Amino acid sequence: MFNFMKLVQNENMKIYRRPRTYVMLGLLLALIAAISIIGYFVDDNHTASAWSMIMTEVMISYMLVTVFTIIIASSSVADEFTSGTIKLLLIRPWTRSKVLLSKYIAVLLYALGMVVVMLVFTVILNMILFGYTNETASEVISPLVSGSVMAYLLKYSFLKYVSLVVTTTLAFMLATVSRSGALAIGLSLFLILGVNSFSPLLASLKYKWADYILFIHLDLTQYLNDTPMRDGTTLGFSVLVLAIYYAIFVGLAWYVFKKRDVAA
């Protein structure tokens, strides 16, 4: 176990040793700061609250975190093939499964770290600028939502992270199968940003098989407001569909990586 954790640590070092990691984090925080500061100075009537700004920025930031995580996930495996360092990994006393798992865990930890930093920075910055207000979720989000805004934010962030894990796994699988970071990034972004834009259209299909389309279930936050894209679907059903796709993505990535002559 200790040796495996060292392997995960090594993969984390590869991620955080690269300047692009900090550039992406800087872009994320700069975007959040810009929205908050602009909102503070243009809100002459003081209609904006800290919580409304926080929810708006978190919704926007999650899309950016998804894009950045796709880039990291796609390059994690593909860059090893491009540089030829995959051979050095495989001559060490670690199985291929452990090598791939360490990369996968490092990517998920990166995604989690980005989400945590984003949430903490957003909350603190807006509380400083706009001050704390004791608002409910029904006042900030929708009359259909009850409870505190903080509880809603935590639920929203958790459900978004579940979707982020599935999306990251898809990009990781594509990079492992294709051994091309550019192809994996391009295809992942096309599927997530392009095809996902047509989710409402896909959800309107009158066929039973449409219940199992991945993109209809990726946004689990639709159930927070009790507004599912497709009639009859529930949070549990969407989680089950995502779990099936997740198992397929993981299984395919590990099968290809173990069978392919990666050291050639």
* pLDDT tens track, the chain, 264 positions: 557 788 888 888 888 888 989 999 999 999 999 999 998 888 766 667 888 899 999 999 998 999 999 889 888 877 766 665 665 666 566 777 788 888 899 999 999 999 999 999 999 999 998 887 777 777 777 777 777 888 889 999 999 999 999 989 988 888 888 776 677 778 777 777 766 677 778 777 888 888 888 888 888 888 888 778 888 889 999 999 999 999 999 999 888 887 766 544
Query: Which residues have C-beta within 8 Å of that of residue 17, sequence separation ≥ 6?
Result: none
Q: How far apart are CA 31 and CA 60, in angstroms?
A: 9
Could you give the CA distance from residue 61 to residue 35 in angstroms, rounded to a whole number?
11
pLDDT the model gives residue 93: 64
Q: For the whole prediction, is pTM greater than 0.75?
A: yes
Beta pairing partners, 136: 148
**Distance (Å, whole) CA 18 – CA 11:** 12
d(CA 141, CA 147): 11
* The pLDDT value given to residue 177: 83
Which pLDDT belongs to residue 87? 58
> For position 31, what pLDDT does the model report?
94
Alpha carbon of 184 to those of 30, 133, 178, 213, 246: distances in Å?
27, 43, 7, 20, 17
DSSP state, residue 148: B
- DSSP lists the bridge partners of residue 148 as 136
Cα(42)–Cα(126) distance, rounded to whole angstroms?
15
In angstroms, the CA 103 to CA 83 distance is 16
* Of the candidates 264, 218, 258, the residue with the CA atom closest to the CA atom of residue 242: 218
Provide φ and ψ at 148, rounded to 5°.
Answer: -80, 160
